[in-house]
Amino acid sequence: MKNYRQLTKRSGRHRLGVFLNFIICFLMVAVASFTRDGKLMGHEFGADSQQVVSKNDTISRLADGEIIINTAAIGKDITGFGGTVPLEITIQKGIVKDIKALPNKETPEFFGRAKTLFNRWRGKTVAEASSMKVDGVSGATFSSRAIIGNMRAGLQVAAKQTEKKPLFADFDGSAKNLCGLAVALLAAIVPLFVKNRRYRTVQQVLNVAVLGFWCGSFLSWSAILGYMSNGMNVVALLLPLVLLIVAFIYPLFGKVNYYCNHVCPYGSLQELSGKCVRYKIKMSPKTVRVLNRFRKVLFAVLMLCLWTGVWADWVNYEPFSAFIFQSASWVVIAIAVAFAVLSTIVMRPYCRFVCPMGSLFKVES
């Protein structure tokens, strides 16, 4: 009983330690993303947080999610007493937040009366505002009609922008994505229950061929910084989400380095290359310790480069992107080929002694 309690305490401390390390990993990536891109999860901070992220003549989207409708183009045929009466309608979370009149040639006295109509729509949802029956202001009939017409036109545009999509509208149902998702799930689940060398070889071939060369799906510093900066549409990015879960959530349940050992396409490629040549260089324990120390120092230096912005572009030179060889630089391809060849005589050299992505996973474990 005493031994059982001691083991339980140790297990609890270990899980707490792994969880704290997970938080550390998250903060490391968050700081690097913010330093590089100035935003987290799609939200910008600071003086420029309200900058326009997309715009055309009618619709502008701000970084905080607000939608601004300009009716100048869509209401060009709607006139008041002195001409067109364009409006600027601000929509926030599906609600009419504000309405502003843009420059026009209406008589100020009469237009001032007509502007009181704005209060009828403010605070209403787009659906409520669209269905409202609004009468013109007595004594400012022409200006009122122009305002009402522009509001109707603007709310129609807003309704299309704020309408809810079906839950899986963004899901990529292509054969490539479905095959990649199937291979990722096989790698994530089957090795938990099946310990078979032949199956492992088959899985590694699938990882390289499907996840690597066909789908170009893998975890890299460039990818996770992008997800941290811009956020993730989990439906559209279901395949990368599976990879992230395997890499960062599995260790919380004792499956340390599971992604590196069972899923990573480049790790699989190195292990397959190693199976092609029986001879392996025998490294002394001292050499292995020195190389492990080199890996830690390299990781520390590269993280400082990310956090300070001195050389954040190193993330573009990880060998994973060589799978997308059509767009990869020759430097990346050369690095990937060099380590793949070296792996024929040294077991997974990049994974064991260099990989900054793997070093992040080791922090969690």
Over residues 234-255, the pLDDT tens digits come to 888 899 999 999 999 999 888 9
Per-residue model confidence (pLDDT) at position 11? 60
* Residue 23 to residues 30, 232, 301, Cα–Cα distance (Å): 10, 19, 21
DSSP code string of 73-92: TTTTT-B-SSSB--EEEEEE
Cβ atoms of 186 and 206 within 8 Å: the answer is: yes
At 47 the pLDDT is 47
Angle between the N-to-C axes of helices 2-37 and 221-230, in degrees from 0 to 180, rounded to the nearest 10:
80
The Cα–Cα gap between 183 and 207 comes to 7
Please identify which residue in the block is written with the tokens 């088959």: 202
Question: Is 93 strand, coil or helix?
Answer: coil
pLDDT of residue 109: 86
What is the CATH number assigned to the segment(s) 59-162? 3.90.1010
The closest alpha carbon to 260, from 272, 277, 243, belongs to: 243
Residue in this structure with the two tokens 């045929």, named with its chain if needed: 77
Residue burial 51-72, b: 16+ Cβ < 10 Å; e: rest: eeeeeeebbbebbeebbbbbbb
Q: How many CA atoms lie within 13 A of 56 on its CB side?
A: 5
Counting as low any pLDDT under 70, the low residues of the chain are 1-14, 44-56, 63, 163-165, 167, 364-365
Instruction: Find tokens 């490391």 and name the residue.
Output: 28
Q: What is the DSSP letter of 248?
A: I
Contact 111, 82 (CB under 8 A): no
Condensed to tens digits (0 to 9), the pLDDT of residues 350-364 reads 999 999 999 998 886
Token duo for residue 221: 């510093």
Residues 6+ apart with CB under 8 A from 146: 75, 78, 79, 80, 84, 85, 106, 114
Q: How is the beta sheet containing 59-62 ordered, strand by strand? A: 52-55, 59-62, 67-70, 87-92, 95-101
Distances from the Cα of 325 to the Cαs of 116, 315, 334, in angstroms?
61, 16, 11
Q: Going by C-beta distance under 8 Å and a sequence separation of 6 or more, which residues neighbour residue 234?
A: 241
**pLDDT value, residue 360:** 92
Question: Longest C-alpha distance within the chain, in Å?
Answer: 96
| Sheet strands (E) in the chain | 39-40, 43-44, 52-55, 59-62, 67-70, 87-92, 95-101
What gap in Å lies between CA 261 and CA 279, rounded to an integer? 22
Q: Partners of 220 in the beta sheet?
A: none
pLDDT of residue 268: 97
Q: How far apart are CA 62 and CA 138, in angstroms?
A: 37
Q: Is 69 helix (H, G, I), strand (E, B) or coil?
A: strand
Structural domain spans, the chain: 1-43+193-361, 59-162
pLDDT score, position 9: 54
Please name the residue that has the structure tokens 């590089």. 36
Give the amino acid at 182.
A
